[in-house]
């Protein structure tokens, strides 16, 4: 029932996920409770940023003499802690949406990672920003009074809740815009009314906040307790590892430990401070266009926007950070950003720094680089397609799995070329869905026999980037599943065998082509098989089977390209078939065997046979024959 003593009062229920999170906050989490303060301060700071940004286009919302700031008041007797800001504030509808629903990134990610194990979950809280609701770890009830800036005619809003199932919302009075949150502390949490306690928490978690945070001193005079100089504007030596990490997690939405940090200031023709983080885990929305976090743009310390996509190219979209420019105009709009020469220069320079840092990591810290590659390799490789200018640097940084390494081993193109066999002329690769499939492919047989390394290209994007790479140090990339295999000197023996076999198998080959008709382009004697009877290869300039599969998965129409069936003259099956053919060119059993030969070649490379029923019928009938011979 709504409290009718309050004007325009409404009782509303929290949404399901919000309830779930609140329940956890109240009943299950016992450690890291202190983080509620950093969450409230960080919300206040965001609200101040938003107001300052709005004032750039509408100066009426922020009179010149107002200092944007955060105030904290402690009342030991009442056991309350009050935090107020003169930021953007919220309208009634905004309060309902923002604080009754749970579309918040931090909380969402938190719920996704939750294990159900209380101890583990309460540890998670330390790492995640879990937002406003974390206040219920320490509060028995909370009162929030807020007034939206720029809407003086709208009444202020009061939101109250014990955090159980519902909240009350009503009209109220408030002087000036902004938000004031009163936390009624639980009996056992009264330590949060201790001045020293709050000061040390601000030092620990919120020292980088760019707005002053005021707290009364012993005499009741308000004093600023944080450093206020934005973290990114300080020298590297002034920032502790903990501060970097706090900033990364709170201000940039990171939920891991950053893998690497870049921080500096450019001076000279252009001036800007920048701080970038390479995460150690990829976020769930890396492939979503609407992802929220990226590089924030500030101009002369004024927050302009989150996730400024013009500052980093798409293939580095996992980077998080801040750029604060002295040269851009404060009223810069999204449209202006797109062809802005200053932004372009900053982006170029940042890309150079990031690639430099990655190179350093690749050379000096292989384990971390492996981690990086595992998380972001598929995205990073897009750069080969889009960042032609940095192609050489990117080529130094790309890594592949290969036939020479174990599952986790990675090889660079340089390493590949350096350890290539002496007479080898090309860089060989195989594409496919995953390592398990490609490493068993019959196409690799001759390469294994001769210890020639083959790169395993198993990310969907790899099919597209091989063309972009084209060659490395003069060595062309060549698919082991496509075209005629020419190993040069290394394949001399196979070529001789082929030559001899060609005339011997000429008739059988014709018969095979005859039986299979349009299902294949032609039959030829292989130089790449050792143990398997046959395999399929794409014609020199046509699309490979894996590429076809990918294109179909993307909903593209692809004409079925005919492939070449390569047969192995050394294999007993082919030898027997040839003998049967010579004995009776019309031998009716040949037809079934040939069809099975094709189906097996398809299965071996992870494809579907064209008629599974017919395939299974043929295999059964062979098995019946074989088993009755006992």
- Which positions touch ligand ADP (CB under 6 A)? 39, 43-44, 47, 85, 87-90, 98-99, 104-106, 129, 131-132, 179
**Residue 100 or 483 with smaller CB distance to ligand ADP:** 100
**Residue 106 or 432 with smaller CB distance to ligand ADP:** 106
Smallest gap from Cβ 600 to ligand ADP, in A, equals 55
**Residue 96 or 520 with smaller CB distance to ligand ADP:** 96
Instruction: Let me know if 295 is exposed, middle or buried by CB neighbors in 10 A (0-12, 13-18, 19+).
Output: buried
Smallest gap from Cβ 237 to ligand ADP, in A, equals 31
Number of H helices, E strands in the chain: 22, 23
**Residue 42 or 479 with smaller CB distance to ligand ADP:** 42
Listed in sequence order, the DSSP H helices in 252-340 are: 334-338
Residue with CB nearest ligand ADP? 131
* 56, 217 contact by CB (below 8 A): no
Which residues contact residue 147 at a Cβ distance below 8 angstroms, ignoring those fewer than 6 apart? 89, 154, 156, 157, 174, 176, 177, 178, 179
User: How distant, in Å, are the alpha carbons of 182, 248, 303, 398, 616 from that of 50?
Assistant: 22, 20, 8, 40, 66
Smallest gap from Cβ 226 to ligand ADP, in A, equals 16
Smallest gap from Cβ 181 to ligand ADP, in A, equals 7
Is 105 strand, coil or helix?
A: helix
Say what the alpha-carbon torsion angle 58, 64, 69, 74 is, to the nearest 10 degrees.
Answer: -120
| Separation CA 119–CA 399 (nearest Å) | 38
Smallest gap from Cβ 320 to ligand ADP, in A, equals 15
Smallest gap from Cβ 179 to ligand ADP, in A, equals 4
Token pair of 139, please?
Answer: 């509060």
Could you tell me whether strands 475-479 and 427-431 are parallel, antiparallel, or unpaired per DSSP bridges?
parallel
| Separation CA 75–CA 61 (nearest Å) | 31
**Residue 126 or 329 with smaller CB distance to ligand ADP:** 126
| Separation CA 409–CA 392 (nearest Å) | 22
Smallest gap from Cβ 131 to ligand ADP, in A, equals 3
| Separation CA 39–CA 60 (nearest Å) | 29
Smallest gap from Cβ 156 to ligand ADP, in A, equals 13
**Residue 112 or 335 with smaller CB distance to ligand ADP:** 112
**Residue 88 or 523 with smaller CB distance to ligand ADP:** 88
**Residue 179 or 532 with smaller CB distance to ligand ADP:** 179
Smallest gap from Cβ 146 to ligand ADP, in A, equals 6
**Residue 170 or 179 with smaller CB distance to ligand ADP:** 179
DSSP string, 164-206: SSEEEEEEE--SSSEEEEEEEE-GGGGGGG-HHHHHHHHHHHH
In DSSP terms, which residues pair with 479 in a beta bridge?
Answer: 429
Listed in sequence order, the DSSP H helices in 188-329 are: 195-206, 241-251
């Amino acid at each position: 029932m709504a409290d009718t003593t309050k004007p325009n009062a409404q009782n509303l229920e929290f949404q399901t996920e919000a309830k779930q999170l609140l329940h956890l906050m109240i009943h299950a989490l016992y450690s890291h409770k202190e983080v509620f303060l950093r969450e409230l301060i960080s919300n206040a700071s965001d609200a101040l940023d938003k107001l300052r940004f709005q004032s750039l286009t509408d100066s009426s919302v922020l009179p010149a003499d107002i200092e944007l700031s955060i105030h904290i008041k402690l009342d030991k007797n009442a056991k309350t802690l009050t935090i107020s800001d003169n930021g953007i504030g919220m309208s009634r509808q905004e309060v309902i949406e923002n604080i009754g629903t749970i579309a918040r990134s931090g909380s969402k990610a938190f719920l996704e990672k939750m294990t159900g194990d209380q101890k583990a979950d309460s540890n998670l809280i330390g790492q995640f920003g879990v937002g406003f609701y974390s206040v219920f770890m320490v509060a028995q009830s909370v009162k929030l009074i807020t007034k939206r800036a720029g809407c003086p005619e709208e009444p202020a809003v009061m939101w109250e809740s014990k955090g159980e199932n519902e909240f009350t919302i009503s009209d109220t009075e408030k002087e000036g815009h902004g938000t004031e949150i009163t936390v009624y502390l639980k009996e056992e949490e009264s330590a949060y009314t201790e001045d020293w306690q709050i000061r040390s928490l601000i030092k620990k978690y919120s020292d980088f906040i760019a707005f002053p945070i005021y707290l009364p001193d012993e005499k009741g005079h308000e004093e600023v307790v944080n450093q206020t100089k934005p973290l990114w504007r300080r020298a590297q030596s002034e920032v502790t590892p903990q501060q970097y990490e706090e900033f990364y997690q709170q201000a940039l939405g990171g939920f891991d430990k950053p893998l690497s940090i870049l921080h500096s200031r450019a001076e000279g023709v252009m001036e800007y401070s920048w701080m970038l983080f390479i995460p150690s885990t990829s976020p769930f929305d890396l492939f979503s266009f609407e992802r929220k976090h990226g590089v924030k743009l500030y101009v002369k310390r004024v927050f302009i926007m989150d996730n400024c996509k013009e500052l980093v190219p798409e293939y580095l979209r996992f980077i998080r950070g801040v750029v604060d420019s002295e040269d851009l105009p404060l009223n810069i709009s999204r449209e202006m950003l797109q062809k802005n020469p200053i932004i372009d220069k900053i982006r170029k320079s940042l890309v150079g720094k990031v690639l430099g840092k990655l190179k350093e990591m690749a050379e000096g810290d292989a384990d971390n680089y492996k981690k990086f590659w595992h998380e972001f390799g598929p995205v990073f490789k897009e750069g080969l397609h889009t960042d032609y200018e940095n192609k050489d640097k990117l080529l130094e940084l790309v890594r592949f799995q290969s036939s020479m390494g174990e599952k986790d081993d990675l090889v660079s193109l340089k390493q590949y070329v350096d350890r290539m066999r002496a007479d080898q002329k090309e860089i060989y690769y195989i594409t496919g869905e995953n390592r398990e499939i490609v490493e068993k492919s019959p196409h690799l047989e001759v390469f294994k026999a001769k210890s020639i390394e083959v790169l395993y290209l198993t990310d969907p994007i790899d099919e597209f980037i091989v063309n972009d790479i084209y060659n490395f140090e003069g060595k062309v990339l060549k698919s082991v599943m496509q075209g005629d295999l020419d190993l040069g000197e290394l394949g001399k023996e196979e070529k001789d065998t082929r030559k001899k076999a060609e005339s011997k198998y000429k008739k059988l080959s014709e018969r095979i082509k005859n039986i299979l008709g349009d299902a294949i382009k032609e039959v030829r004697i292989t130089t790449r098989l050792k143990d398997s009877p046959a395999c399929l290869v794409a014609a020199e300039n046509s699309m490979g089977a894996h590429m076809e599969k990918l294109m179909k998965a993307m909903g593209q129409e692809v004409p079925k390209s005919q492939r070449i069936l390569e047969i192995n003259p050394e294999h007993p099956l082919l030898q027997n078939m040839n003998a049967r053919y010579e004995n009776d060119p019309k031998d009716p059993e040949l037809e079934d065997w040939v069809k099975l030969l094709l189906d097996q070649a398809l299965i071996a490379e992870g494809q579907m046979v064209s008629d599974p029923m017919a395939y299974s019928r043929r295999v059964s009938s062979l098995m019946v024959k074989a088993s009755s011979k006992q």
